[in-house]
Structure 1
Amino acid sequence: MSTTTQALLTLDGVHTHIGAYHILHGVDLVVPKGQLTMLLGRNGAGKTTTLRTVMGLWKVAQGRVQFGGKSIANLPTPQIADLGIAYVPETMGIFADLTVKENMLLAARGARRAQDMDEARLKWIFRLFPAVEKFWNHPAGKLSGGQKQMLAVSRAIVEPRELLIIDEPSKGLAPAIINNMIDAFAELKASGVTILLVEQNIHFAQRLGDTVAVMDNGRVVHAGGMAEFSADTQLQQRLLGLAL
């Protein structure tokens, strides 16, 4: 990260235990403001645990987590969200029995009725994800996997956020939907949102990533620019067991 780029989120020597298991072993991670940081690694490397630790869903046993220069380690999750951080888990967290509109209204905490939601912001979301508008009054449980993912991201951005944390947004999606998602994230980043993304789809990572951090066995074992990482097939092979 260059000296001119400000870090929005930093993890410094973070350890996390889940029950009897020691999952994170001193994670160091820097997410530069206004950029898209890819968190890569094999299954079980600790990526999801890192995201959940940032959000306070797992407690920091040791180390520091700072957002905008302030400590957020072990704050309650609602307080962390109130700072301007949105989290889209791999499970998406959609309320299947509620309509798309009702799911969005729950996320727009400043609105009590659909009419109270920011109309200009909704139009922007509808342009990013037309399916959200198309199925506005449909039960969310009836949506396809790709449409649910679009709804999950739409809920996360229905209010302005400084940081968007998303776990495997392209998992199980068709290539056309993935390309739509890539375009939407590129526009989100251009609007000034900082994004931290866990992703297995290497095409997705290459197209979007500014910086990359690779995890293995509960630690970050490589961090740097995405372009340099994409060009170094030997490094990819060593860290991920594959080449981009």
Structure 2
Amino acid sequence: MADDPILRLRGVHTHIGPYHILHGVDLDVPRGGVTMLLGRNGAGKTTTLRTIMGLWRAGQGSVHFDGRDITRLATPAIAQAGIAYVPENMSVFSDLTVAENMRLAARSGAIDEQRLDWVFRMFPALKIFWHQRAGVLSGGQKQMLSVARAIIEPRQLLIVDEPTKGLAPSIIQNMISVFCELKQTAVSILLVEQNFHMARSVGDTVAVMDDGRVVHAGTMADLAGDEALQQRLLGLSLAAHQ
């Protein structure tokens, strides 16, 4: 993995109530490109993301972002440090318009028009519904808005949890195009995804979790080309999930 990762977790343990979910997670996210975080359901992927963001606290271990220890920082301070987080539940304000949702995501309160045009090129539906309440959007459009909110201002790291969950194939293809374009910018991306066509299409590096630990780390290309490794780590073949 990278010698100077933008994000580094070492020996991270997380408890949720009486449950010990993460059991010493070691994870490096290189600067630039997309790191896929894969694993079976219940492996600890979402808990890892929420621990990075300070939504759940690491009981042991450390989280470093851009060389800074953020393990004990509050969530707003972690976001201010340059990390944007898109949870899997399509986090939008349904009673506000698309425009109001986007303005709230801009830390200054004012949206850079050039960057907004760039977002509209990736998500043209948001321009169409700009003055409509977010609650009237379809599930796919809400997911577009969730991602758009996270990238309306430049960030160093974008963390996204299952952006294609429940989406139609045409919208999944749109998401693939979006993340391929984001890869051309300065942002680094940590992406949890169950759609393996998406994972193979956009992933550069990969970490696989099982039972609260990272059990494999390497390149996405190597994992995509090794069916025996896929079966051992994930219990399935990527070729069966086009």
Q: Give the alignment's TM-score, normalised by structure 2.
A: 0.97
Q: Secondary structure at the match of 2:152?
A: coil
| Residue 220 of structure 1, aligned match among 214, 223, 232 | 214
Structure 1 residue aligned with 2:164? 170
Structure 2 residue aligned with 1:7? 5
| Residue 137 of structure 2, aligned match among 143, 158, 170 | 143
Give the distance between the partners of 1:235 and 1:149, measured in 2 at CA. 31
Give the distance between the partners of 1:80 and 1:144, measured in 2 at CA. 30
Q: How does 1:1-244 map to 2 (within 5 A)?
A: 1=1, 3=3, 6-111=4-109, 116-244=110-238
Give the distance between the partners of 2:173 and 2:153, measured in 1 at CA. 24
Give the distance between the partners of 2:91 and 2:138, measured in 1 at CA. 14
Quick check: 2:2–2:30 contact (8 Å CA) kept in 1? no
Runs of 5+ consecutive residues of structure 1 not aligned to the other structure: none
Quick check: 2:92–2:142 contact (8 Å CA) kept in 1? yes
Q: How far does residue 2 in structure 1 lie from its aligned partner after superposition?
A: 5.1
RMSD: 0.8
Partner letter of residue 112 of structure 2? Answer: D
Give the distance between the partners of 1:209 and 1:26, measured in 2 at CA. 24
Q: How far does residue 192 in structure 1 lie from its aligned partner after superposition?
A: 1.4
Aligned length: 238
Q: How far does residue 35 in structure 1 lie from its aligned partner after superposition?
A: 1.6
Quick check: 2:2–2:28 contact (8 Å CA) kept in 1? no
Partner letter of residue 140 of structure 1? Answer: A
Q: How far does residue 21 in structure 1 lie from its aligned partner after superposition?
A: 0.6
Partner letter of residue 196 of structure 2? Answer: I
Partner letter of residue 199 of structure 1? Answer: E
Give the distance between the partners of 1:229 and 1:216, measured in 2 at CA. 16
Moved runs in structure 1, 4+ residues, more than 6 A? Answer: none
Give the distance between the partners of 1:189 and 1:124, measured in 2 at CA. 14
Give the distance between the partners of 2:153 and 2:204, measured in 1 at CA. 24
Partner letter of residue 12 of structure 2? Answer: V
Percent of pairs identical after alignment?
A: 68
Q: Deviations over 1:197-225 (max 9, x none)?
A: 00000000000000000000000000000
Q: Secondary structure at the match of 1:7?
A: coil
Give the distance between the partners of 2:191 and 2:171, measured in 1 at CA. 17
Partner letter of residue 173 of structure 1? Answer: L
